[in-house]
Amino acid sequence: MAMKLYRNSLRNRIFFSMILLTLISSVLIAGMSIYQYTEQGKDYHNKRLQRKEEAILESLRYTLEKTDWSNTTDNLPFIFDPVISEISDVHKMPVIIYDLRGHLIKTSDRNFVSGDMKMQLDSLTLYNLRNADEGRYVYQFSEEGLTFRSSYTYLKDDRFKNIAIIHLPYLENDDFIDYELTEFLYRIGIVYILMFMFSILIAYLLSRYITKSIREISDKIKKLSISKRNQKIHVDVTGSEEINTLVESYNDMVDELEESAVKLATSEREQAWREMAKQVAHEIKNPLTPMRLTVQSFQRRFDPEDPEATAKLAEYSNSLIEQIDVMSNIAGAFSTYATMPAQKTEQTNVPKITQLALDIFIDSDIHYSEDSTDLCAIFDRTQLIRVVTNLVKNAMQAGHPDRESIIHVCVTHNENQIFLSVEDNGMGVHPDNEYKIFEPKFTTKNSGMGLGLAMVKQIVENFNGTISMKTVYGEGATFTVSLPRSK
């Protein structure tokens, strides 16, 4: 059984509840059976004693009717002397006769009298007999592990007058009843064992059946995510209204979540474009102001007759061209981020393309290393060049003012991944800005729109890669691109 018993799950609760119910039922049935046998035994002894008592009294009354002696208490020893032993033998029970004051006058067993029987009844017994509703008093007691019943009743004459007290001592012999109870418990014990084993199997199967749909719902909920399309649940839960309701609620929630995700994505895109438009407008306004001032100054101060008019015109033109180039760079950066070129899924030699991208930085102090020349990944080579170029430019611009900038570019690999790292010894990233470093429009530089690292992250993730950063503020930073290695 593959069930984890230590887990406090609904399945385990159902399983153990059914097992516990079976055990409790078995114990109750066994207890009730023992109680029933005990009560039957008591009832059996009570009725048996009553039958013997009636039979013995009938025999005694018959003797009284046939005798020639007068039916008085004093004559009883003479009347019953020849027959009392016969009556005792027939009914297999000692017969003891007392007078109305409780004195012994006749008994069928001399040994019994000399051993255990009192010669006179105690006052409590006489009191209980006199106050008994039916003129009959039964006293039960145990002695040496045996249970006895002593029956006391009145013997009447032909005029229904009490003339003696008949005492019948009765030994409760439960051997047969105990044997029957033992046999019954043995048989029912075998049934209980089989029933318990069967109940374990039924409880296990039933708990699996009941919790199957709940477990599937639980697994689906664990995988529920707003960032992807979630699957609905289709299970056979015929006849289970509660599970049907739960499944329907989950499927409705999936539909609502999908609608919310679409609305959220649309809202986020619209918000992002609004923010981007504001940023672009702000960046474009920056060069427009000096351009306006330059043109106004040119209008006021330009004199065609001035011998330096040509030089001043060239100065004004260069200033305008410089500001136009700034605006062009801003527009180019925005266009690059907003409309990424369609990616090509081609086999790309990462070390080779990385070196090709580094060739444009011939005047910079860049150190390159690799642990293999044949490391290929599924990547667009043009976009890989853009990734390397942006990371190296970012490293160059993050230089420390008090030391010479040194950049290390390294390509390494393991069995499944290729790692492209760019390390610099510049200023590093302040701890407050680490979590924002890959966000669009975030920058700590005086120029630019902060789209470089965001663009790199987007390109890398489009090819199932990742990019991470490690930095120590004031000492430098290392950006590492991880790409799936193609075999």
Q: Over the stretch 40-50, which tens digit does the pLDDT of each residue have?
A: 777 777 888 88
Domain end call among 279, 304, 338: 338
Find the mean pLDDT for residues 56-76: 86
pLDDT at 44: 77
The encoded tokens of residue 106 equal 């006749």
Within this chain, do residues 353 and 414 fall inside the same structural domain, yes or no? Answer: yes
Q: Which of 131, 163, 178 is the last residue of a domain?
A: 178
Q: Is residue 5 part of a domain?
A: no
pLDDT (0 to 100) of residue 465: 92
Q: What number is the average pLDDT over the span 224-240?
A: 60
Confirm whether 208 is domain-assigned: no
Burial of 406 from C-beta contacts in 10 A (0-12 / 13-18 / 19+): middle
Q: Examine the domain organization and report whether 36 and 166 are in the same domain.
A: yes
> Could you give the percent of the chain with pLDDT greater than 90?
10
Residue 85 has pLDDT above 80, yes or no: yes
| 473 and 445 part of one domain | yes
Task: Give pLDDT tens digits for 364-422.
Answer: 688 999 998 889 999 988 888 888 888 988 888 888 888 888 999 999 999 899 999 99
Same domain, 372 and 265: no
Residue 232, in any domain of the structure: no
Q: Indicate if 319 and 384 belong to the same structural domain.
A: no
Q: 261 or 374, which is more confident? A: 374
pTM above 0.85?
no
Domain count across the chain: 3
Cα distance between residue 202 and residue 196, in whole Å: 10
The pLDDT assigned to 118 comes to: 58
- Confidence at residue 329, expressed as pLDDT on a 0 to 100 scale: 64
Q: Say what the pLDDT of residue 478 is.
A: 93
Same domain (yes/no): 271, 392:
no
**pLDDT value at 268 more than 50:** yes
Measured CA to CA, the distance from residue 143 to residue 146 in angstroms comes to 5
- The answer to whether residue 131 is domain-embedded is yes
Question: If you average pLDDT over every residue of the chain, what do you get?
Answer: 77
Is the domain of 247 the same as that of 301?
A: yes
Alpha-carbon gap, residue 364 to 354, rounded angstroms: 15
Provide the residue type at 304 as one letter.
Answer: P
Through-space distance between the first and last CA atoms of the chain, rounded to whole angstroms: 42
Q: Is the pLDDT of residue 193 over 50?
A: yes
Picking from 178, 199, 227, the residue at the C-terminal end of a domain is 178
Position 229 scores a pLDDT of 63
Give the pLDDT confidence score for residue 2 in this predicted structure: 42
Given a cut of 80, is residue 69 above it in pLDDT? Answer: yes
Q: Are residues 155 and 69 in the same domain?
A: yes
Q: Is residue 217 part of a domain?
A: no
For 14-24, the pLDDT digits (tens) are 777 778 887 88
For residues 30 and 154, membership in a common domain is answered with: yes
pLDDT mean over 46-59: 86
Residue 357 has pLDDT above 70, yes or no: yes
Domain span holding position 96: 10-178
Note the pLDDT of residue 343.
Answer: 60
Q: Is the same domain home to 286 and 423? A: no
Q: What is the mean pLDDT of residues 122-145?
A: 83
Q: Is the pLDDT reported for residue 441 higher than 70?
A: no
Rounded to an integer, what distance in angstroms lies between the CA atom of residue 336 and that of residue 334? 5
Per residue in 447-482, pLDDT tens? 443 456 887 888 888 888 999 999 998 889 999 999
So what's the pLDDT on residue 283? 60
pLDDT at residue 320 is higher than 90: no
Same domain, residue pair 255 and 377: no
Residue that wins the pLDDT comparison between 221 and 54: 54
Is 275 part of any domain?
A: yes
What pLDDT score does 361 carry? 73
User: Does residue 470 belong to any structural domain of this protein?
Assistant: yes
Alpha-carbon torsion angle 434, 438, 443, 447, nearest 10: 150
- Average pLDDT (140-152) is 81
Q: What is the pLDDT of residue 208?
A: 73
pLDDT at 423: 93
- Mean pLDDT over 83-108 rounds to 87
CATH number at residue 65: 3.30.450.20
pLDDT reading at 13 higher than 90: no
Dihedral angle computed from the Cα positions of residues 447, 452, 453 and 455, in that order, rounded to the nearest 10 degrees:
150
Please count the other Cβ atoms lying within 10 Å of the Cβ belonging to residue 235: 14
| 224 belongs to a structural domain | no
User: What confidence score (pLDDT) does residue 88 get?
Assistant: 86
CATH number of the domain residue 473 falls in:
3.30.565.10
Statement to judge: residues 297 and 410 lie in one domain: no
What pLDDT is recorded for position 413? 92
Least confident interval from 120-124, 246-250, 450-454: 450-454
